[in-house]
Amino acid sequence: MKKTVYIHIGVHKTGTSTIQNLLSNNRDVLKEQGIIYPGNKSAHHDMAKEFRTLPLEQILKKNSRSQAYLREIIESPAEKSILSSEVFETLIFNAGKLREFLPHDLEIKIIVYLRRQDDLLESKYNQRVREPQIRLEKSFTDYFSSIGLYNPKLDYYNKLTPWADSFGKENLIIRIYEKDKLRGNLFNDFISVIGLENADSIKVPDLAVNTSWSWDIIEFMRICNNSFRKDDGMHDFLLRSLAKARVVEKEKKRLLSPQQRREIIAHYADSNAKVAREYLGREDGRLFYAPLPNLDEPWEPNKGLTVEKVVPIFMQMLHNLDKEMNKRSHTKNILSKKSHFFNKITNNRFIQSKNVYSYFQKRNRR
């Protein structure tokens, strides 16, 4: 029987970090069930980056990361293996390179999650403000106008075509990232896709990873990005302290108006319908089942930060700083107690090491 390799290629902002976290935390459990997740990192971004930047000859050399992962897959007795990185999604022109690299006696399945473009756009903005390499300074309206209503990067049919050409349509497993569409939750959905029979022993992490932040905190971060463009330490501090800050929200606010969302959906409608027909065999051409945004639903543009919003954020930051310092002063006490303990021994009248030590030192010098 052929070995199967599942390649989870994204797309960005469809819970990839959460899935990767689940897989890397359960390496041992998966191995027992005949599935390997190669390497020891949480994901295989390094492999995907090699395909994006290096020519094939260089990847085929023995010391590349991709070769190391492939060797692990081939040498292991396990029948199934998983590679996961959302960076693979960007390999539009390089999917063929990946096909050439992988030996033909392996059966390749490509797993890709799709999310409706209006949701994706907001989520992307949320990510780009936080991302240390990007640190977006634009307000959402500016960002939205720079992306435009239609962007080929978000066109799923375009995106999937090179993958289908290289690996075959039947080997693409397309899942819809939509709350109702996922069986149970994201974890169960992914587990069912890779065909894991005994899923009970999998340790499911309590928290989702890399969840999107509240818009108030994103706005806060954006203002800081604007003022401290080059300060890496500052960005790190902000990520650290703002990730802990909580803002109470009854419901996740939308930045796009229902009208704008409808327009976006309309621009991608053809492409989405083609994906539904050709890859999922849905005659009606419906890719996403969530209802279209209701034009009458109450919506207000995001008004930005107000004093009422900023004050609690600052107070939480201060509180966290204080907590951290208390923790530190606690360890400081322990440390000083320990050193005190040793000092007590060394200053013991019976031993009087100091005097003896210095006495001998002096004598030796003479």
**Minimum distance of another protein from residue 132's CB (angstroms):** 15
Determine the Cα–Cα distance for residues 39 and 26; give it in Å rounded to an integer.
13
How far apart, in whole angstroms, are the C-alpha atoms of residue 126 and residue 119?
Answer: 11
Q: Which stretch binds another protein (CB under 8 A): 21-29, 188-196, 217-225, 266-274?
A: 217-225
Give the torsion through C-alpha atoms of 40, 46, 48, 50, to 10 deg: -140
Find where tokens 């978000």 sit.
Answer: 154
Which of 40, 364 has the CB closer to another protein?
Answer: 364
- The correct pick among 142, 304, 323, 330 for binding another protein (CB under 8 A) is 304
Cβ neighbors of 264 (< 8 A, separation 6 or more) are: 117, 118, 121, 149, 256
Residue 130 vs residues 122, 221, 249, 290, 348: alpha-carbon distances, Å:
13, 7, 20, 28, 56
- Tokens for 109? 């399945």
Q: By CB under 8 A, is residue 243 in contact with another protein?
A: no
Nearer to another protein, 257 or 316 (CB): 316
Closer residue to another protein, CB minimum distance, 237 or 299: 237
150 is a contact residue toward another protein (CB under 8 A): no
Min dist. Cβ of residue 356 to another protein (A): 5
321 is a contact residue toward another protein (CB under 8 A)? yes
Residue 125 CB, nearest distance to another protein (Å)?
19
213 binds another protein (CB under 8 A): no
3-class SS at 195? Answer: coil
Decide: is 315 part of the binding site for another protein (CB under 8 A).
no
Query: In whole angstroms, what is the distance from residue 236 CA to residue 132 CA?
Result: 8
158: Cβ–Cβ under 8 A, 6 or more apart, which residues? 92, 152, 271
CB of 269 to another protein, least distance (A): 39
Token readout for 73 is 């897959």
Q: How big is the site for another protein, counted in residues (CB under 8 A)?
A: 39
Asked if 301 interacts with another protein (CB under 8 A), we say: no
Residue 173 makes contact with another protein by CB under 8 A:
no
What is the H or E stretch that residue 152 is in?
none
In the chain, alpha helices (H): 16-25, 27-32, 45-53, 56-60, 65-75, 95-101, 117-130, 140-147, 156-167, 186-193, 215-227, 232-244, 258-280, 307-346, 353-365
Among residues 40, 227, 298, 362, the one that binds another protein under rule CB under 8 A:
227
Instruction: Check binding of 306 to another protein (CB under 8 A).
Output: yes
Q: How far apart are alpha carbons 121 and 135 in whole angstroms?
A: 16
Which residue from 91, 224, 255, 264 is in contact with another protein, where contact means CB under 8 A? 224
Interacting residues of 230 by C-beta distance below 8 A, sequence separation 6+: none
Using the contact rule CB under 8 A, the part of the chain among 23-31, 69-77, 149-157, 229-237 near another protein is 229-237
Sole binder of another protein in the list 4, 161, 241, 302 (CB under 8 A)? 241
Q: In the range 336-365, which residues lie near another protein by CB under 8 A?
A: 336, 338-339, 342-343, 345-346, 351-354, 356-357, 360
Q: Does 237 bind another protein (CB under 8 A)?
A: yes
Q: Binding to another protein by residue 234, rule CB under 8 A?
A: yes
Q: Which of 29, 24, 26 is nearest to 41 (CA)?
A: 24
Q: How far is the CB of 135 from another protein (least distance, A)?
A: 14
Least gap, CB of 350 to another protein (angstroms) = 9
Let me know: does 84 contact 70? Beta carbons within 8 Å.
no
How buried is 130 (Cβ within 10 angstroms: 0-12 exposed, 13-18 middle, 19+ buried)? buried
239 touches another protein by CB under 8 A? no
Task: Report in angstroms how near the CB of residue 338 gets to another protein at its nearest.
Answer: 6
- Residues forming contacts to another protein in the complex (CB under 8 A) are 220, 223-224, 226-228, 233-234, 237-238, 241, 304-307, 310, 314, 317-318, 321, 324-325, 328, 332, 335-336, 338-339, 342-343, 345-346, 351-354, 356-357, 360
